[in-house]
Structure 1
């Protein structure tokens, strides 16, 4: 199924349906990213927040609350919380990865400096905690604060595991759940909780966000080896050049003979890469059919997301979230 050809894509349909709520979220974000005493904070934050992006995570909060019949207003606070956490992690990630570009624009750490990016990221985390307290719901506070801790833990795990050939698919899944899926599942789960949904509905919303986030990251990792640079905004092989042990390579390492393992040790663990190594790496992925296997994993997680969503009350928003799971994997189908 290729939803890229659809006249209106699922996230665009969601944005239109949730427009009033998203307008309120954006207004709250602008209000809370202000700083009376440190003008650098809104400068750095605005550079990233106003750079575009689908605002998918805050939309998931609003959509989950809407499915469960919540009239507001605290879904807006939680959506802004999720976007602040996401933006803070991007600022920190760009420093850790020494990135120079995000969403087609220079990164904040390049335009200002690493110190500004780290400290503004810290400020946004603090703002996120202020926002998540305001609804006065301890369960929501637990969900979002645990997600923030899980994200940080996932980033540290990735840093230690990304260049270690002993990293297997179980560790990869822990990393993905930390760095990507944790905020997706927290967004959908918190939306259900603030709406007063029953335990079964809240679990279904969590399961949807978890599976959607995992599918999202697997697709991103797969496209690094077979994507269209114009469509993805990334150069093919960036993860290989940065020595990131992602799922297609993990599968290839598990099936490697002695010579192939020596190749992965030299290029990934030791970082001694030479001309032609990327092409050889891609050839090994094709030899062991790991791109096909990775694609199958992404589709399976998207199916899990759709199955979870199918248990919730029928509505246009539910349909859009089911379509969104298809859209996430549409680039590889």
Structure 2
């Protein structure tokens, strides 16, 4: 009887041992992580043309040796900022001494496990632009100039500083940040693992700049992209029927009605149901029209535009939707050549 009890106790201990081993593997987290309490230190507003500084607070967990890896970080920025030319990154960590330099990842460098995509493309495929309402944004991705070794059961921390010069216009958007490492990158993670992490902030505002506020935070019925177009760029006007409370959203044909203002205080109106002004479907209840302002408004040599005002109408011209479901037109300001 005693031998049987000892045998049962032994089996229980063995079962408990295996259970604890399995539990360790289940709850163990590997990869890169933003700090749960204080992921990002950043400014809530900055003046146009000034430098925005953000600090990412991160940690790394490794249950196997990671040899020769680059630390990878990125920021989502408006295209008008040309952030690839105006961004600096560096970091300090618990396994290095002093400030460590970072550099922009070459466009021809493919990200690991990303199906042939380079780093900005892979980050966009994974994170998109968050809840920003415009695609006039881009991911700027850097990695550490030097490579590092992280040993098994080593859990270093790193503070990554990002400095980017803002553009000239008044603008608000939700900043996005990206964190990864060059070895695992976009591999499919296990439960609790994270090799490519994203973080988005609340709405951030650039003030004291040029023109009216460009708003990427809040959904809008109508928007012009890119925000920094000239009259010789292709301008895309988008209409979001999901935000329109009028019957216009249920029409089969929707048109752009626009009035352009020249630098000499003349106005040019194009408000007819012609093919150039007809919007095309771009998804469920989403429409768009691509136009070349110089041609669309039949500009003469020497004529320049400062802005356009526009609204959307149906085939008859009787239905009209403007800013915030009113008759007030949407506005788009052109940038100087």
What TM-score bracket applies, with the shorter chain setting the length? under 0.3
TM-score by length of 1: 0.28
TM-score by length of 2: 0.28
Q: Greater share of strand residues, 1 or 2? A: 2
